[in-house]
């Protein structure tokens, strides 16, 4: 497959995507994709905008206390929208004129990290849902030894979530490579993230994660989140970290 064929594929993929679920917004990106195809053909995947949307791995009708409507809207609009937007942004960065003022580069790069982290964190979030909420194994040991007890850790995680209620953000239990300790980190928007580590458990605190079901009741949402944690997935992540 030549690069030309690859890029033809991308443009066609964009067209199909735009026909399916985001036509009006996507038109601008479509025109852009075609115009800049020639330019990006000389570049590599950093500018190709080829990120794919990942489907939910669990049945959205089966969560406890989180409705199908909420989960499907969250996945189709907020997550999928971030992936599509990221693809547009990467193509636009790759085709920015050489004499464009620096602020244009900066503003696009900011949009890129916003959309990239939104994509990544949503994928971790959805993938750590769909379980029975019962922690055990590697992650339980890490939490207990690094926070003193599972209860102390859970209180810290929940309070960090509550501090974000009514606004936006994420709570991320990360394995921090600097000190080899797990920490619950606060993020007030998609850009805030540990610089060197691996997310183990991710809780979305944007209001789109709960307002449809819980209104302003962030605490009720956090309870529901805990009941649906897929600790097997969290353990897979923790074990992958320890194997490296």
List binders of a second copy among 119-148 (CB under 8 A).
Answer: 119-121, 123-124, 144-148
160 touching a second copy, by CB under 8 A: yes
Smallest Cα–Cα separation from 134: which of 58, 233, 238, 219? 233
| Helix H or strand E encompassing 197 | strand 197-204
60 touching a second copy, by CB under 8 A: no
102 touching a second copy, by CB under 8 A: yes
Query: CB–CB of 170/204 below 8 Å?
Result: yes
Q: Is the CA virtual torsion 218, 174, 188, 125 positive or negative?
A: negative
In angstroms, give the least distance from the CB of 132 to a second copy: 25
Task: Please work out the total of residues on this chain that contact a second copy, with binding judged by CB under 8 A.
Answer: 99
Q: Which two tokens stand for residue 83?
A: 């992936």
56, 73, 133, 232: which one binds a second copy (CB under 8 A): 73
113 touching a second copy, by CB under 8 A: yes
Site residues for a second copy, window 25-54 (CB under 8 A)? 25-29, 31, 42-47, 50-51
Q: Which residues contact 27 (CB under 8 A, 6 or more apart)?
A: 18
Q: Is the CA virtual torsion 117, 120, 124, 127 positive or negative?
A: positive
| 3-state per-residue secondary structure call for 162-185 | HHCCCCCCEEEEEEECCCCEEEEE
12, 192, 239, 242: which one binds a second copy (CB under 8 A): 192
141, 191, 239, 242: which one binds a second copy (CB under 8 A): 191
In angstroms, give the least distance from the CB of 114 to a second copy: 8
| 3-state SS class at 109 | helix
Q: Which DSSP state fits 78?
A: I
207 touching a second copy, by CB under 8 A: yes
Residue found by looking up tokens 């989180």 in the block:
66
58, 108, 138, 154: which one binds a second copy (CB under 8 A): 108
| Stretch of 7-15, 56-64, 106-114, 220-228 contacting a second copy, by CB under 8 A | 106-114
| Stretch of 9-17, 133-141, 180-188, 220-228 contacting a second copy, by CB under 8 A | 180-188
85 touching a second copy, by CB under 8 A: yes
């Amino acid at each position: 497959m030549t690069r030309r064929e690859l890029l033809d594929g991308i443009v066609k993929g964009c067209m199909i995507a735009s026909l399916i679920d985001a036509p009006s917004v996507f038109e601008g990106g479509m025109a852009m994709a075609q115009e800049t195809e020639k330019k990006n053909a000389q570049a590599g995947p950093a500018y190709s905008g080829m990120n794919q949307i990942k489907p939910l791995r669990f049945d959205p009708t089966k969560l406890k206390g989180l409705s199908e409507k909420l989960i499907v809207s969250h996945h189709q609009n907020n997550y999928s929208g971030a992936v599509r937007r990221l693809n547009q942004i990467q193509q636009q960065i790759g085709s920015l004129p050489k004499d464009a003022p620096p602020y244009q580069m900066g503003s696009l790069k900011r949009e890129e990290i916003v959309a990239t982290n939104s994509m990544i964190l949503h994928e971790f979030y959805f993938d750590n849902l769909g379980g029975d909420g019962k922690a055990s194994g590697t992650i339980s040991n890490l939490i207990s030894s690094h926070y003193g007890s599972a209860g102390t850790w859970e209180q810290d995680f929940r309070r960090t979530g509550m501090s974000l209620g009514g606004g936006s953000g994420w709570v991320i239990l990360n394995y921090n490579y600097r000190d080899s300790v797990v920490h619950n980190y606060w993020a007030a928007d998609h850009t805030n993230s540990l610089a060197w580590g691996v997310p183990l458990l991710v809780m979305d605190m944007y209001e789109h994660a709960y307002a449809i079901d819980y209104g302003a009741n962030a605490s009720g949402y956090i309870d529901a989140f805990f009941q649906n944690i897929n600790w097997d997935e969290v353990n897979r992540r923790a074990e992958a970290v320890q194997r490296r």
